[in-house]
Amino acid sequence: MANNRGAAVMYDSVQKSYDGESLVVKNLNLDIPPGEFLTMLGPSGSGKTTCLMMLAGFEPATHGEIYLNDRPINNVPPHKRGIGMVFQNYALFPHMTVAENLAFPLQVRNVGKAEQAEKVQRALDMVELGAFGNRRPAQLSGGQQQRVAVARALVFDPELVLMDEPLGALDKQLREQMQYEIKHIHENLGVTVVYVTHDQTEALTMSDRVAVFNDGIIQQLSTPDDLYEDPQNSFVAQFIGENNKLNGKVVGVDGEECLVELGDGTQLKADKVNVSAVGDLTTLSLRPERVEFDTNDTMDNLVNGRIEELIYLGDHIRVRMNVAGNDEFIVKVRNRGEKRKLHVGETVQVGWAMNDCKALDAVA
């Protein structure tokens, strides 16, 4: 199938308010190139679903304009937008068989019977449910229903597919499997996908780019690795992956690096990301797997800490430590079957590189 037959989407200073008193979406500007898999990630109430609903046409934008292939669509009713959509609880029509569900969008477009049957079968084959056409949705498992919903959103060859937390109702294993399937379907078809989720793993696994929403604002719009490696603010650092936060004050700035003094006087070197000058309060963000027990003098930061708790997780060991007065300091140690054992109550030295430690905006 042809690649990159997706549509381009553009949000142009879009605002949305439900009650006229507070904004759910605050001045959204977002460009989605054709064929991209973009995920809107955020906690509930962050405005991500509202953004999706405005694009689908079920919620009017209070201000601003949304463009689909450079065409403003604010005044186009949902059924004329030609956007495929997968809903949270699938919304498969319970009174129709799977094949009838898939034929529905073709029927309302007056597609000929023969072509309908062919497209329905092709869509079913695509999601590996070729033999299930005559079943009712209630007779399918959750994962199968999910695939039917995906097939139905794609059967009329839309250029843009929206997915509203489509995997929320599935168990963990099925969810992971479906993530890959959806990703592969996207790669094969080349349609543009806008995907909404609150699950960061889902977002990191599937997306070309992720827009992290909070409080009606896109906090960061980056590729998954950028998001994890270079969070632009504390919210993103907290929301994506696991994160140790250390509160302190900037005491020295040198180009792209800065020196931060923690509450107990410990001084740490960090990447200057979201602080400007000496005296700023800051929160340091540090990924647990970047902290080493095998320290050496070349490391930028070396601190002593007391081991509070050890949790054995098979492939790695989670070590909870008290470092610089913070007893929620987590270190992940890969399980290499090493001789050296850690013990609770032991005081050991840990260290990490300056680049792994980001000085971000202060949080309480």
Partner 1 sequence: MSDTTQDGQVLTTQDGRPLKAALGRALFREKLRAFLLVAPLLIFILITFVAPIIDMLHRSVENSIVEETLPKTVVALQEWDPGSGEVPDEAVFAALYDDMVVAVDKKTHTRLGSRLNYEQSGISSLFRKTGRRIKRMDEGEPLKDQFLAADKKWGDVTTWQVLKQFSPAYTGGYFLNAFDAKLGPEGVELKPADERIYLFLFGRTLFLSIVITLSCLLLGYPIAFLLAALPLRTSNLLMILVLLPFWTSLLVRTSAWKVLLQQQGVINDFLVWINLISDSGRLVMINNQTGTIIAMTHILLPFMILPLYSVMKTISPTYVRAAKSLGANDWTAFWRVYFPQSVPGIGAGAVLVFILSIGYYITPELVGGTSGIFISNRIAYHISSSLNWGLAAALGTLLLVAVLVLFVVYDKIVGIDNVKLG
Nearest approach in angstroms of CB 93 to partner 1 is 6
Q: What does the alpha-carbon distance between residue 12 and residue 30 come to, in Å, rounded to a whole number?
A: 7
Return the residues of window 106-145 that contact partner 1 according to CB under 8 A: 108-109
Nearest to 361 by CA among 211, 204, 219: 219
By CB under 8 A, name the one of 15, 17, 27, 89 that touches partner 1. 89
Nearest approach in angstroms of CB 160 to partner 1 is 11
Identify the DSSP state of 144: H
Q: What percent helix, strand, coil does the chain show, rounded to 5? A: 25, 35, 40
Identify the DSSP state of 282: E
Q: What does the alpha-carbon distance between residue 323 and residue 314 come to, in Å, rounded to a whole number?
A: 24
Determine the interface stretch with partner 1 among 14-22, 34-42, 103-111, 230-238 (rule: CB under 8 A).
Answer: 103-111
Q: Is 87 in the site for partner 1 (CB under 8 A)?
A: yes
Residue 265's alpha-carbon distances to 87, 262, 321, in angstroms, are 52, 5, 18
Nearer to partner 1, 42 or 158 (CB): 158
Structure tokens that stand for 193 in this block: 């996908």
Nearest to 49 by CA among 159, 198, 152, 183: 198
CB crowding 272-284: b at 16 or more within 10 Å, else e = bbbbeeeebebbb
Determine the interface stretch with partner 1 among 18-26, 79-87, 265-273, 339-347 (rule: CB under 8 A).
Answer: 79-87
Nearest to 164 by CA among 256, 40, 250: 40
Q: Is 97 in the site for partner 1 (CB under 8 A)?
A: no
Nearest approach in angstroms of CB 26 to partner 1 is 25
Nearer to partner 1, 17 or 27 (CB): 17
Return the residues of window 158-197 that contact partner 1 according to CB under 8 A: 162
Q: What does the alpha-carbon distance between residue 346 and residue 104 come to, in Å, rounded to a whole number?
A: 66
What is the pairing mode between strands 63-68 and 257-262?
A: unpaired
Nearest approach in angstroms of CB 153 to partner 1 is 8
Nearest approach in angstroms of CB 291 to partner 1 is 45
Return the residues of window 49-68 that contact partner 1 according to CB under 8 A: 56-58
Nearest approach in angstroms of CB 72 to partner 1 is 19
The continuous run of DSSP H or E covering 19 comes out as: none
Contacts by 106-115 with C-beta closer than 8 Å and gap 24+?
Answer: 106/155, 106/156, 108/79, 109/156
Return the residues of window 298-327 that contact partner 1 according to CB under 8 A: none
Nearest 5°: phi and psi at 138? -65, -20
Q: Is 85 in the site for partner 1 (CB under 8 A)?
A: yes
Nearest approach in angstroms of CB 202 to partner 1 is 20
Nearest approach in angstroms of CB 146 to partner 1 is 14
By CB under 8 A, name the one of 93, 215, 261, 308 that touches partner 1. 93
Determine the interface stretch with partner 1 among 87-95, 113-121, 236-244, 333-341 (rule: CB under 8 A).
Answer: 87-95
Positions in the binding site for partner 1 (CB under 8 A)? 56-58, 77-85, 87-89, 91, 93-95, 104-105, 108-109, 152-153, 156, 162
